Amino acid sequence: MGLSTNIKPIYFDEVEACVDEIIKRVGKELVVAAPFGIGKPNHLLNSLYTRVKKDKSLHLKIITALNLNRPTWKNDLERRLIEPMVKRLWPDYPDLLYINDLGKLPENFELIQFFFKPGARLNCSHAQQNFLCSNYTHAVRDGVIQGVNVLVQQISKKDINGKRYFSMSSDPDTHLEAGQIMRKMTKEKGVKGILVGQTNQRAPFMYGKALVDEDFYDLVIDNRKYDYEMFHVPKEPVSLTDWTVGLQASTLVKDGGTLQVGIGSLGDAVISGLLLRHENNSEYKNILNDLNVIDENKELIDTYGGTEKFIEGLHISSEMFVDTMIELYKAGIIKRRVYDNITIQRLVNEGKINGEICPGTLRHLMENLAIHQQLTEEDVNFLKEFGIFKQEVQLEGGSLKLGEMEFSNNLGDPANFKEITSNCLGTHLKNGILINTSFFFGPNKFYEYLRSMPEDKLKEINMRGVNEINQLYGNEKLRTLQRRDGRFINAALMVMLNGAIISHTLNNCRVVSGPGGQYNFVSMAHALPDARFLIMVRSTRTDRGKVSSNIVWEYGEITVPRHLRDIVVTEYGIADLRGKTDKQVIIEMLKITDSKFQEKLLKKAKKYKKVPKSYRIPDRYRYNTPEKIQGVLKKYKDKNIITDFPFGTDFTKEELVLGKALKAIAKENIFGKLKLVKGMFSKYSISQEAMPYLERMELDSPKNLKERMMQKIVLYALKNAKAIQ
């Protein structure tokens, strides 16, 4: 439960008083590490930032990732759409003040980030210049290099059996390891460093290694006035393209295996595919057959995946615990438990023991030297820890005692073995883990579900540091056994024709997001004997009316090099690239490229002698078009088997339509902008079907010229999106 100091933390009612104590202990050079995503103590960070803005003798450097603030608007039209949603979905969330000040930050403040909200910081000089390019597993190391002396974190508290504990809730990812390193550096090198927690009782109290003793922290802000609902992440719509990618990826997940998948519409599509496979298997197969997925990839699916319902179920080992995994859990798909013991896990994998305890369980453990024939106290504690022995069993003076009953501790005596197994055995293996993970965030209903879970079920979600989740190092044998048939499924911006993956940086070196754990996933997929890494990418993108290919010949930046290529999935198919030559890789990638761009890419490959001049793309791959996908999936969309929001949405129908319509005209090219200007001076008759949208924007009865012009923009956008006649 962390590195103990046996010194209780100092508690504060007011965040400002805690800031005073931090400066008193550390000095005027503050290098503060805050967790990824929702684990930040926003009030404390805001107080530190405000203090530094006022006092130029102080210097503050914050090292973190994914700073989340509520949506903002640039003009009155955007305000009318966004402000009501902000009030409804983020009623008490405290924005991070330093994010609001990006572009006008004080000179004595630096913000260093190793991951951005995708695309959010492309035009921010401070963010681009202070990006720390690190693998997730190296973030703690690189923070230490940057001189971190203060760790801050949002935590929740609970008294268990009369003792106070804290939970790191959503983020033991980096701070568990960092806290232990800081304690060691303070003890061995005299480095000034402190750990600070801010309690928030709305943060789910999570177990596993997120659970730490009270003395893990030096300072704790504990006042219910600082409680707030954690950042709410609305669901994105899942397009037909996303559905097609996700459905294909779902065929490569093996029953009895291990799953990692990320957030976003492509991740939601994979989870939706797995649910459809389990709950509506006939229609699942119908869709796959209509898309020609099974025939095209039969050997790959038979070897590495499947299309049948889940019998053994899945285990989750994923840096991120996404909300949709709860749907897999509720559907009974996440049910393969793993155990933090090499012998038990190996015997479970081999099918020699299972969840139910029987005499054979004890015999197998003895034969595999997990316990001695002459039971020791350590053996008995081990057997009780995993539920193999009843908790009441005690070892006293060479005898096992259970109430009034007494047995020899010699398992080698057949008669004694029978007595022990008849009386001392438990019923089921205990301390099984369904989900091994490091951090989470999602919509409010996800947090509510976690808060309402019974304690025994919540303990099957083991929150751990990312250094344990994203790599095998440190406990290779156990982690290899636990991550059987691992499927690491991630998304990319683009893929080169040679298999190299572009996921976080543009050709001009501007950072879109960050490498996160992607390299870790591909590294594990190659290290584990039965694992595969699937990269999902939409074959094209559209910007201002121009369609471009996401399968490219060359690119100046890559996230995963081509020698680590594995499986690439687009809406047009699956390319298995492992172990293939350059010629074979290029041919496989061309098969899953949009046909609009195939010949141009093939011409490049021939020019540089990477494929024979005589090669021609087979006819069956030359009709990769959006229209083909839409034609196949239309009947399933009409039957409501495929939906835009398979996991629901927090937005109203009007908000969804308005958001899509207004976003579309904002992305128009110059000709589209001219049409918009013309539309603003056109006369529109306001139909009844337009009224709900205008009412939502408070433009149903415009009061002045400005509101009349905004009304026309909205009407134009709705007509352009074919939302109204």
Query: Quick one: 391 and 481 in the same domain?
Result: no
pLDDT higher than threshold 50 for residue 406: yes
pLDDT at 460 over 70: yes
- What pLDDT, on the 0 to 100 scale, is given for residue 494? 98
Instruction: Say if residue 290 is in the same domain as residue 167.
Output: no
Would you say 465 and 440 are in contact if contact means Cβ atoms under 8 Å apart?
no
Does 130 share its domain with 162?
yes
Per-residue pLDDT tens over the stretch 299-334: 999 999 999 999 999 999 999 999 999 999 999 999
Alpha carbon of 39 to those of 130, 153, 203: distances in Å? 21, 6, 9
Tell me what pLDDT residue 91 has: 94
What Rg do the C-alpha atoms of the chain give, in angstroms?
Answer: 28
Q: How many domains does the chain have?
A: 4
pLDDT tens-place string over residues 12-46 = 999 999 999 999 999 999 999 999 999 999 999 99
pLDDT confidence of residue 1: 47
Q: Looking at residues 588-600, what average pLDDT do you find? A: 98
For 517-576, the pLDDT digits (tens) are 999 999 999 999 999 999 999 999 998 789 999 999 999 999 999 999 999 999 999 999
CB count within 10 Å of CB 226 equals 20
Q: Which bin fits 453, alpha (ψ -120 to 50), beta or left (φ > 0)?
A: beta
Average pLDDT over every residue of 274-291: 98
pLDDT above 70: percentage of residues in the chain = 97
> Are 187 and 95 part of one and the same domain?
yes
* Residue range 349-392, pLDDT digits in tens: 999 999 999 999 999 999 999 999 999 999 999 999 999 999 99
User: For position 220, what pLDDT does the model report?
Assistant: 98
pLDDT exceeds cutoff 70 at 684: no
Give which of 167, 159, 160 is closest to 198, Cα–Cα. Answer: 167
Assess if residue 629 is contained within a domain.
no
Closest CA to 438 of 318, 331, 587, 549: 318
Q: How many helices (H) and strands (E) does the chain have?
A: 29, 25
Q: Please give the average per-residue pLDDT across 405-424, as a whole number.
A: 96
- Same domain (yes/no): 475, 588: yes
Listed residues 375, 392, 423: the one ending a domain: 423
Residues 577 and 524 in one domain: yes
Q: Identify whether 235 is part of a domain.
A: no
- As a whole number, mean pLDDT of residues 601-614 equals 97
308 and 377, same domain (yes or no): no
404 lies in the same domain as 278: no
The arithmetic mean of pLDDT across residues 591-610, rounded, is 98
Strands 163-167 and 150-160: antiparallel
Q: Which amino acid is at 428?
A: H
Is 51 in the same domain as 199? yes
Q: Is residue 345 part of a domain?
A: no
CATH number, domain at 571?
A: 3.40.1080.20
Q: Is there a single domain that holds both residue 439 and residue 419?
A: no
Mean of the per-residue pLDDT values of the chain: 94
**186 lies in a domain?**
yes
Pick from 28, 133, 58: nearest CA to 503: 133
Beta carbons within 8 Å of 644's beta carbon, 6+ residues apart: 237, 238, 239
Task: State how far the Cα of 572 lies from the Cα of 536, in Å rounded to an integer.
Answer: 11
| Residue-wise pLDDT tens digits, 630-646 | 999 999 999 999 999 99
> Is the distance from CB of 427 to CB of 356 less than 8 angstroms?
yes
Is a pLDDT exceeding 70 seen at residue 97? yes
User: Considering only 94-103, 183-192, 526-535, which range has the smallest mean pLDDT?
Assistant: 183-192
Is pLDDT of 2 > 60?
no
Give the domain-ending residue among 621, 644, 676: 621
Per-residue confidence (pLDDT) for residue 456, from 0 to 100: 95
Q: Do residues 211 and 286 share a domain?
A: no
- Angstrom CA distances, 50 to 105, 109, 629, stand at 11, 10, 53
Range of 390's domain?
A: 363-423
Average confidence (pLDDT) over 603-614? 97
